[in-house]
Structure 1
Amino acid sequence: MADLAPVPTSASASAPTSVDSILTSVISQLETEQNLRKQLREAIDPIDDLARSAATELNRLHSAGASEHSRICERALETVGKAHPLWIEVGKLLPKGEFYRADRSRPRYNFAISPVARSLVTSIAFARFMLHDELVPAFTAANIMGLGQDETGELQLTADDYLLGVIGMVNELPRLSINAVTAQNFALPVKIAAFVNDIFASYSMLNLRNDILRRKFDSLKYDLKRCEDVVYDLTLRGLAPAPANA
């Protein structure tokens, strides 16, 4: 619901503000807010299309051979990079100083921005893990998707959206681990399990005040167990690769 601006009071008791003028002011403010919401959704739709395209491209990792993984990830990152000029247009729509609510508890327009930002982080983190065996830092993810630059104004990748996007990436890894075994790629599940374990350990140290983050964190426990189960099964069958320092 829109944050209503205070209605000015009359300085004279003999000339009170009419009910009609009060309601007219409120209705006008609501209409302005609704129009802005509509414009934001329309401006973000093309970015959402790119996010879906990148996710669709990365979904091919589950059925592609290991030799194709790098090309798939690079194409996905190229798709994400096309969002930069689109974010600039979104930034132009935001009233100056209104990216966050007055108490800075959360972005004022996160209903439109957060879902697509999280999806892009998920794709970026997934691709970077496959390409570089690393967790992409938040500032790098923001730069890849085109946020956090001067041209995008006050728009930025929030900590909550980054953390939720990373969890979204982890949610994809147990499935990839299982499919890797099917493709006779026994090294990848071991790498995935170690990576997920590191992320789970790091998240466990955070003081998660966001309710959504706390609920999503619980999913990491199950993802880690599924990844470890795959490695355990490989070990029992003598298929797990020997440790590098063995």
Structure 2
Amino acid sequence: MATPLIDPELFSQLKTKIEADSLVKKDLDQIVDDLNQHVAYTQGVLSRIHSTPRSKYPELFVQIEDGIKKQIEAVAKLAVTASQHPYYKYNYKWTRTVQDSVSTVVLCAWLGGLGSETKPGAVGRLLTIEDIGEIYQVPVNLKDSDAFHITIEEYLLGLINIIDELSRLAMNSVTLGDNALAVQISGFIKDLHAGFQVLNLKNDILRKRVDSIKYAVKRVEDVVYDLSLRNLIPAKTE
């Protein structure tokens, strides 16, 4: 009897591997969907900053930080599951959601939430990537491990995500009579833009997103310029 040219077990083995891969993806999808829901909730509460005076921010922080707490719990589950598998095989499933989650944490802290030592409503605290790792209780920027971690790219894209939100807030803060906030936002995003120019970015997505920052900077500069023409900039923020 002739020897088969193909091992009859080959496709059975492939079938087993495909099924195992599908189960991993299903588990990850469930966790990421859960994280997405908490991110969406937090973003929804954060959007209320555009119609809320700074003196009322602490009331929002209670709800925002509750949403962030649930995000942290979801990321912890994600880290346990993802760390059992090759990192770059599956990270496409969660990287965008993690960026959005990071942006909610960074924005909340910048606005004066997340245990800021400054007085309620004071702005300007920028979290580092190390701060982000401590908040989520996960590693950051791992290079030689398949363990789940938050990458520098995810952190930087999270920063870029808040720039459009802050440029919008600058305009709305003027409507609310908080001209000082518009000036602070202008200074902050200009500093961020300058910082990004120092980086030698290889990631195409990052390069494109960084290029878009200049438009947000211009919008806020126009707001501040208009305030200066009308002598509406508070002396302490000039």
TM-score by length of 1: 0.82
Counterpart position of 2:93: 112
Does the Cα contact within 8 Å between 1:181 and 1:189 map onto a contact in 2?
yes
- Map residues 63-212 of structure 1 onto 2, 5 A cutoff: 63-94=51-82, 96=84, 98-99=86-87, 107-131=88-112, 132-148=123-139, 154-212=147-205
Does the Cα contact within 8 Å between 2:76 and 2:136 map onto a contact in 1?
no
Residue 20 to residue 61, structure 1, CA distance change in 2 (3 Å): same
C-alpha separation in 1, matches of 2:62 and 2:170: 20
Q: Offset at 1:127?
A: 1.1
Does the Cα contact within 8 Å between 1:117 and 1:161 map onto a contact in 2?
yes
Aligned residue for 1:108, secondary structure, equals helix
For structure 2, the residue ranges without an aligned partner over 5 or more in a row are 113-122, 141-145
Q: Offset at 1:139?
A: 1.8
Deviations 1:126-167 (A, max 9, x none): 111111412111121233234339xxx922111111100110
Residue 233 to residue 58, structure 1, CA distance change in 2 (3 Å): same
Of 82-91 and 187-196, deviating more is 82-91
- Which has the larger helix fraction? 2
Q: Offset at 1:228?
A: 0.8
Residue 108 to residue 71, structure 1, CA distance change in 2 (3 Å): farther
Q: Offset at 1:94?
A: 2.9
Which runs of at least 4 in structure 1 moved beyond 4 Å after TM superposition? 14-17
C-alpha separation in 1, matches of 2:220 and 2:191: 12
Counterpart position of 2:42: 54
C-alpha separation in 1, matches of 2:200 and 2:92: 24
Residue 15 to residue 159, structure 1, CA distance change in 2 (3 Å): farther
Deviations 1:112-139 (A, max 9, x none): 2212211111111111111141211112
Deviations 1:13-67 (A, max 9, x none): x967625433333333222222211110102222111111111111000011221
Deviations 1:157-183 (A, max 9, x none): 111111001100111111100000000
Pick from 15, 19, 30: which aligns with 1:31? 19
Q: Offset at 1:243?
A: 4.4
C-alpha separation in 1, matches of 2:198 and 2:5: 54
Pick from 218, 224, 228: which aligns with 2:221? 228
For the aligned residue pairs, the C-alpha RMSD in angstroms reads: 2.3
C-alpha separation in 2, matches of 1:15 and 1:216: 58
For structure 1, the residue ranges without an aligned partner over 5 or more in a row are 1-13, 100-106
Q: Number of residue pairs matched?
A: 222
Does the Cα contact within 8 Å between 1:171 and 1:223 map onto a contact in 2?
yes
Of 48-57 and 186-195, deviating more is 48-57
